[in-house]
């Protein structure tokens, strides 16, 4: 495997994931001071959150460079691309838009997320479609008071921060990584909520990074050690795996609560 200089990797990624696309102003971006521009890089580890366990895994497996989504500095050579990776062309939200086949898609908060129509699909089949794509069960809140979903709003990661903005889209279903509080059927304009799990909505970014650096080995940090806080805000399912197919279609949604 041919190595690349760190500076060349940085140039490619900074061009494809420009800082100007960041939704959060002033967040950390790009290389930390452990990155040596002329260092040879062959093996890259991609993670969402550089937890202590991820850093130890990096060291044990002798990776040359860590690329993380969350801008939490570590003690190893690291590139950080936070909301710029969410919002850039081809980035996380674009990947979700394309996977779901969103039509007439528009952003719902500046350059964040997407909203639009999709081909009608049952809520149960939509959940299964997402789980099959991610190869993992949804771990957060998952309910619907509407059987057929015809429009969606998408926000990777902590989409609960922009719940009010998302509600104003008038779409059927909000698909997001993590809520900031439990949302019941009687407390939101949405007919459906799918809280996928924070990391599960964002570790798909490895496919984008691999497409930009095809000559390098780029591995995904194991999900067991790559986590962000509680991952969901959905009591009582917090930190629990959902059983496949165990999603709620609400008939008596006025009386439904968690």
Q: What is the pLDDT of residues 91-146, one digit of tens each?
A: 999 999 999 999 999 999 999 999 999 999 999 999 999 999 999 999 999 999 99
Please tell me the pTM assigned to this model.
Answer: 0.89
Q: Which backbone phi and psi does 143 adopt, to 5 degrees?
A: -150, 160
Q: Which two tokens stand for residue 187?
A: 């407390």
How long, in residues, is the chain? 258
Q: Are strands 30-31 and 78-80 parallel, antiparallel or unpaired?
A: antiparallel
Domains 4-87+202-220 and 92-197+232-255 belong to one CATH topology: yes
pLDDT bin (cut points 50, 70, 90) of residue 234 is low
Which contacts qualify for 238-241: CB closer than 8 Å, 24 or more apart?
239/139, 240/139, 241/137, 241/139
Rounded distance between C-alpha atoms, residue 68 and residue 78, angstroms:
7
Q: Which two tokens stand for residue 15?
A: 């061009």
Domains of the chain by residue range: 4-87+202-220, 92-197+232-255
Domain 4-87+202-220 coded CATH 3.40.1390.30: yes
Topology of domain 92-197+232-255 in CATH is 3.40.1390
For residues 238-258, average pLDDT:
32
Q: Which residues of 232-245 are buried (b: 16+ CB within 10 A; e: fewer)?
A: bbbeebeeeebeee
Tell the residue number behind the tokens 């599960």, with chain if given.
200
Q: What is the pLDDT of residues 66-101, one digit of tens each?
A: 999 999 988 999 999 999 999 999 999 999 999 999
């Amino acid at each position: 495997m041919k190595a690349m200089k760190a500076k060349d990797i940085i140039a490619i990624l900074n061009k494809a994931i420009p800082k100007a696309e960041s939704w959060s102003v002033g967040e950390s971006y790009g290389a930390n001071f452990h990155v040596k521009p002329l260092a040879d890089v062959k093996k890259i580890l991609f993670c969402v959150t550089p937890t202590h366990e991820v850093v130890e895994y990096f060291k044990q497996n002798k990776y040359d460079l860590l690329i993380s989504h969350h801008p939490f500095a570590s003690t190893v050579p690291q590139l950080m691309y936070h909301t710029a990776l969410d919002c850039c062309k081809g980035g996380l939200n674009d990947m979700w838009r394309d996977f779901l086949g969103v039509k007439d898609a528009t952003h719902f908060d500046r350059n964040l997320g997407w909203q639009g129509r999709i081909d009608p699909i049952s809520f149960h089949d939509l959940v299964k479609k997402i789980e099959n794509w991610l190869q993992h069960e949804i771990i957060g809140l998952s309910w619907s008071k509407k059987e057929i979903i015809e429009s969606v709003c998408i926000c990777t990661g902590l989409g609960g921060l922009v719940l009010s903005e998302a509600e104003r889209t008038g779409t059927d279903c909000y698909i997001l990584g993590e809520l900031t509080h439990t949302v019941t059927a009687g407390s939101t304009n949405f007919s459906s909520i799918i809280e996928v799990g924070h990391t599960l909505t964002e570790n798909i970014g490895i496919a984008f990074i691999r497409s930009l650096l095809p000559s390098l080995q780029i591995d995904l940090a194991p999900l067991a050690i790559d986590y962000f806080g509680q991952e969901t805000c959905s009591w009582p399912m917090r930190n629990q795996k959902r059983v496949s197919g165990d999603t709620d279609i609400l008939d008596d949604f006025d009386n439904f609560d968690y």
